[in-house]
């Protein structure tokens, strides 16, 4: 079991249960309730009398600290079952009550750290359900506390969405994937008649057509389409912006 390569400061806390007794499958986000540096947060967790810890901390400057290795369970969420399954992250607040705001740098690094945790631990996606059934959880799901604060709590769906985009990036279909014979949906204007000499402005909306000819790749209107899927009666030339392969 590895730890994050995003870490720039390490101070291991004595406040942990070693090793954790469950597989990592969750992430739990907390706030520091103050604009603490990752060094200050590490010093707080270094005291055995504190009886608290987290795996990671993120400062307002976007730096990441590690206080408990991922193989071990932190004392963080007031719930042993959750902490045995979760990587826990404390995030600094650049403003105080009542919203407990966090900086843009901290939020961006939180998304990067969550992505890294998921990738290394085989978590295919983050699912925020608003309760403890999801694999992205909050401290206040398990204890009578405002942690992680109103601002971060409002960002949980956004955090999950951004992490999932990084875990499962979508690729756009290249132009060359459209071939003669393909069926496409047209949303745009046909530019010329079948002879390519007479401009017109007929609009096509959600119309299925067949690709009959493809012009040179330098042509602005490259695709010649036919509404009847026959070799004739061509309806005009269209740009790549007018059509979508189905």
User: What rounded mean pLDDT belongs to the chain?
Assistant: 88
* SS (HEC) of the chain: CCCCCCEEEECCCCCEECCCCCCCCEEEEEECCCCCCHHHHHHHHCCHHHCCCCCEEECCCCCEEECCCCCCEECCCCCHHHHHHEEEEEECCCCCCCCCCCCHHHHHHHHHHHHHHHHHHCCCCCCCCCCCCCCEEEHHHCCCCCCCCHHHHHCHHHHHHHHHHHHCCCCCCCHHHCCCCCEEEEEEECCECCCCCCECCCEEEEEEEEEEEECCCCCCCCEEEECCCCCCCCCEEECHHHEEEC
Given a cut of 50, is residue 196 above it in pLDDT?
Answer: no
Q: Which CATH number fits domain 175-245: 3.40.190.10, 1.10.10.10, 2.30.30.50, 3.40.920.10?
A: 2.30.30.50
Mean pLDDT of 76-99: 96
User: What does the pLDDT read at residue 189?
Assistant: 63
* Residues 46-58: tens digit of each pLDDT: 999 999 999 999 9
Is 7-167's fold the same as 175-245's? no
* Residues 205-245: tens digit of each pLDDT: 777 888 888 887 777 778 888 776 555 445 677 788 778 88
* Residues 133-192: tens digit of each pLDDT: 999 999 999 999 999 999 999 999 999 999 999 999 876 545 458 888 898 888 766 665
pTM of full prediction above 0.85: no
CATH superfamily of this structure's domain 7-167: Peptidoglycan recognition protein-like (3.40.80.10)
pLDDT top residue among 235 and 83: 83
Where along the chain do its domains lie?
7-167, 175-245
């Amino acid at each position: 079991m590895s730890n994050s390569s995003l870490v720039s400061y390490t101070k291991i806390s004595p406040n942990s249960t070693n090793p954790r007794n469950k597989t990592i499958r969750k992430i739990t986000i907390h706030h520091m309730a103050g604009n603490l540096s990752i060094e200050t947060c590490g010093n707080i967790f270094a005291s055995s009398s504190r009886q608290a810890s987290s795996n990671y901390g993120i400062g307002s400057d976007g730096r990441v600290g590690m206080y408990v290795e991922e193989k071990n369970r932190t004392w963080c969420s007031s719930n042993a079952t959750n902490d045995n399954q979760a990587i826990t992250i404390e995030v600094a607040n650049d403003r105080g009550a009542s919203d407990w705001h966090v900086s843009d740098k901290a939020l961006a690094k939180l998304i990067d750290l969550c992505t890294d945790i998921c990738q290394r631990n085989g978590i295919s996606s983050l699912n925020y359900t608003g309760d403890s059934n999801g694999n992205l959880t909050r401290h206040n799901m398990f204890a009578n506390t405002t942690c992680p604060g109103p601002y971060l709590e409002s960002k949980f769906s956004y955090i999950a969405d951004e992490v999932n985009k990084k875990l499962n990036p979508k690729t756009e279909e290249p132009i060359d994937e459209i071939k003669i014979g393909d069926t496409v949906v047209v949303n745009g204007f046909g530019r010329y008649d079948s002879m390519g000499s007479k401009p017109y402005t007929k609009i096509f909306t959600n119309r299925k057509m067949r690709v009959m000819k493809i012009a040179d790749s330098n042509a602005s209107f490259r695709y010649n389409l036919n509404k009847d899927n026959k070799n004739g009666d061509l309806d005009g030339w269209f740009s790549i912006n007018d059509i979508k392969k189905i």
